[in-house]
Structure 1
Amino acid sequence: MEISLRIMTKEDLSVYYSWQLDETSRFQAAFMPKEKSESFDEFSKNWEERLENSTINAYMITLDEKSVGMVGKYEQDELPEITYWIDRTFAGQGITTEAVRLLIERIKARPIFASVAFDNIASKRVLEKNGFVSTDSIVSYAPVRQNDIIECIYELEK
């Protein structure tokens, strides 16, 4: 089982879009739009702009050359923050943990931040296994859940 990262391209957007239609994954991620109303064309346009932004680095997670998820780095208040998404059929196999490890090796700036819904235990474990520590929590509106929830802030110093 070989896990690797490759730069995300426009050709990857249809598979990434399909993963984000999964209701269970959307609920777990929490900070998605309430409705899956964004068409593929809108999604694609938004992501093509992101792929051209030099402060965003998006990678497909591949398992034996099959795309199974994505990881990325973007800037929030000029500080690096990471994000990730795994096709739910591949969750729980350590793939995301390894992909995040590969991503943080590529990011030279420190600290690196990440945030996660308070009840997304799997995502918290991914971060903690990669050396992130919980440093704060804030109350944020989670559109998918139509409610305020606790958002846990994680930080990696080394």
Structure 2
Amino acid sequence: MQITLREVKPADMDQFFAFQQDADAAHMAGFAPTNPTDRTIFDHHWGELLRDENTMVRTIDVDGQAAGSIAVYRDDDVHEVMFWTDKQFWDQGITTTAMDQFLTEFTARPLRARVVVDNVGSMKILQSRGFTEIGEEQVFSNARAHVVTEKLLELS
């Protein structure tokens, strides 16, 4: 299995939109748009990400197939990373490998990440890459329709 990061292609958008429809994955991530089936909102959000010169977005590619995405953006002058891997690719080391590649390409530090406390897989990936907990926040989760606790992690 070949896992690479590459520039996002227009064809990836259909895959990313389909990934967003998975209620289990959205629940695990803890975030989702209010209406995840609205393609207009999806296209607007991704258009902003891809046009923002302070944001870097990569497609996680597995053997030529889009398996997810990793992005870093600036929030209050601090870089924050977020990632999403389609459920069919969970528990195979794909996200871990992609994160290693991403951290080699994107070297600015500190780098932060947010993870809902019960998202054990994402927490494990980040902590094993050197991210440490620096705080916690209560945020409303559209995907869960209630307030959740997010851990704020940082890689120095």
TM score, norm. by length of structure 1: 0.93
SS of alignment partner, residue 11 of structure 2: helix
Instruction: Decide which moves more: 28-37 or 47-56.
Output: 28-37
Deviation at 1:133, TM superposition (A): 1.2
Shift of 1:112: 0.3
Q: Separation in 2 of the partners of 1:9 and 1:147?
A: 34
**Does 2:77 match 1:68?**
no
Counterpart check, 1:130 vs 2:129 = yes
- Specify the alignment match of 1:116 in structure 2: 115
Could you tell me which runs of 5 or more consecutive residues in structure 1 were left unpaired when the two chains were aligned.
Answer: none
* Distance in 2 of aligned mates of 1:152 and 1:119: 10
Unaligned runs of 5+ in 2: none
How well do the aligned residues superpose, as a CA RMSD in angstroms? 1.3
Give me the whole-angstrom Cα distance separating, in 1, the residues matched to 2:118 and 2:37: 25
Q: Determine if the alignment matches structure 1 residue 105 to structure 2 residue 104.
A: yes
Q: Distance in 2 between matches of 1:46 and 1:35?
A: 13
Provide Cα deviations, 1:62-85, integer angstroms capped at 9, x if missing partner: 112221111111111121110111
Matches within 5 A, 1:1-150: 1-38=1-38, 40-150=39-149
The 1-side partners of 2:7 and 2:15 are apart by: 14
Instruction: Give the letter aligned to residue 11 of structure 1.
Output: A
Q: CA–CA distance in 1 between the matches of 2:102 and 2:120?
A: 20
Would the alpha carbon gap of residues 146 and 41 (structure 1) be closer, same or farther in structure 2, given more than 3 Å must change?
A: closer
What's the counterpart of residue 153 of structure 1? 152
Q: Distance in 1 between matches of 2:140 and 2:116?
A: 10
Q: Distance in 1 between matches of 2:132 and 2:74?
A: 19
C-alpha distance in structure 2 between counterparts of 1:108 and 1:94, whole Å? 22
What is the TM-score when the length of structure 2 is the normalising length? Answer: 0.94
The one-character-per-residue Cα deviations of 1:8-41 (angstroms, maximum 9, x if unpaired) are 1322111101001000001111121343242x23
Aligned amino acid, residue 80 of structure 1: H
The count of residues paired between Structure 1 and Structure 2 equals: 156
2-structure distance, mates of 1:63, 1:37: 25
